[in-house]
Amino acid sequence: MRGHRRRRGGMAVVGLTGGIGMGKTTVGAMLRRLGARIFDADAVVHRLQGPGGRALPAIGRLVPGAVRDGVLDRAALRRAVVADPALFGKLEGIIHPMVLEECHAFLRAARRARCPIVVLDIPLLYEAGMDALCDRVIAVSAPGGVQRHRVLARGHMDRAQVEAIIARQMDDRQRRARADHVIRTGLSRALAWRQVRAVVASLRHAEERGST
């Protein structure tokens, strides 16, 4: 666990991370309901890669044929990455700087709005080095069997694809060891709610202490 960084102008910046199928989206929704403003990195990536997205020209140059008429051919991109795994790191080199740029803009706007708690919902928080922006980090965790069941139940990937994604991500134990808080979602939603409320109460208590 890292030591807590100094708070930035009264605003707590909280990183939220977790592997695929760990329940991070659910925890993010809970934090939003408790008043946190959320930066959703997945939504940003989807927009960057969506029709006319500003990442598409660079992706098209990297993977010829993956972008047609301003639209990403995701199947063609997946085939290219399977054929050449080194492309994955190159794609990250295109996307991560753009996500970081939008994250900084989000933080500036949140400070102007005097938001007490903001959450950076970033699956690859540690891998991208974006934990450096955070005062605290929450890792969302679930048992491996639960994780795989959740992802397979979505019906979008087969087991081999799921295992390949998990293998590329940081090990859950490493993520939990580095985080300030761990939210476990494998037992019940009610238990996850209690954990999330406890983390938010801790953040608010730290704010109150800092203002006295």
* Contact status, residue 207 vs residue 12, Cβ threshold 8 Å: yes
Residue 23 assigned ligand-binding role:
yes
Reported in sequence order, the residue ranges of 12-85 that DSSP labels E, i.e. its strands, are 12-17, 37-40, 67-68, 71-72
Residue 145 assigned ligand-binding role:
no
Residue 155 assigned ligand-binding role:
no
Report the sign of the C-alpha dihedral through residues 4, 135, 191, 41, in that order: negative
The set of residues, in sequence order, having a beta carbon less than 8 Å from that of 118 and lying 6+ positions away, is 11, 12, 13, 14, 36, 37, 38, 39, 106, 107, 110
Residue 22 assigned ligand-binding role:
yes
CA atoms within 13 A on the CB side of 15: 27
* Contact status, residue 125 vs residue 137, Cβ threshold 8 Å: yes
Residue 24 assigned ligand-binding role:
yes
Residue 53 assigned ligand-binding role:
no
The C-alpha angle with vertex 21 and arms to 20 and 26, in degrees rounded to 5, equals 110
Binding-site residues for ATP: 21-26
Binding site: what residues are annotated? 21-26
